[in-house]
Amino acid sequence: MSDAPLRLAGVERRYRTEAGELPVLQGAELELQAGEIVALVAPSGTGKSTLLHLAGLLERPDAGEVFVGGRAAGTLSDDARTAIRRTTIGFVYQFHHLLPEFTAEENIILPQQAAGVARGAAAARARRLLASFGLTGREHHRPGRLSGGEQQRVAIARALANSPRILLADEPTGNLDVGTSDLVFGELLQAVRGQGVAALIATHNPALAARMDRVVTLAEGRVVAG
Ligand SMILES: Nc1ncnc2c1ncn2[C@@H]1O[C@H](COP(=O)(O)OP(=O)(O)OP(=O)(O)O)[C@@H](O)[C@H]1O
Do the bridges between strand 222-225 and strand 214-219 make them parallel or antiparallel, or are there none, so unpaired? antiparallel
- Report the run of H or E that residue 61 belongs to, with start and end: none
Ligand 1 within 6 A of 44 CB? yes
Distance CA 158, CA 161 (A): 5
Q: What is the pLDDT along the chain (226 residues), one digit of tens a residue?
A: 578 999 999 999 999 999 899 999 999 999 999 999 999 999 999 999 999 999 999 999 999 999 999 999 999 999 999 999 999 999 999 888 999 999 999 999 999 999 999 999 999 999 999 999 999 999 999 999 999 999 999 999 999 999 999 999 999 998 889 999 999 999 999 999 988 899 999 999 999 999 999 999 999 999 999 8
List the Cα angle 36/105/170 in 5-degree steps: 35
Ligand 1 within 6 A of 24 CB? yes
Ligand 1 within 6 A of 75 CB? no
- Closest C-alpha residue for ligand 1 atom 13: 45
Distance CA 39, CA 47 (A): 14
Ligand 1 within 6 A of 49 CB? yes
Nearest to 54 by CA among 20, 38, 37, 30: 30
ipTM at complex level: 0.96
Q: Within 13 Å of residue 72, how many CA atoms lie on the same side as its CB?
A: 10
SS3 assignment for 73-128: HHHCCHHHHHHHHHHHEEEECCCCCCCCCCCHHHHHHHHHHHCCCCHHHHHHHHHH
Phi, psi (rounded to 5 degrees) for 54: -70, -45
Report the chain's terminal Cα–Cα distance, integer Å. Answer: 26
Distance CA 61, CA 72 (A): 12
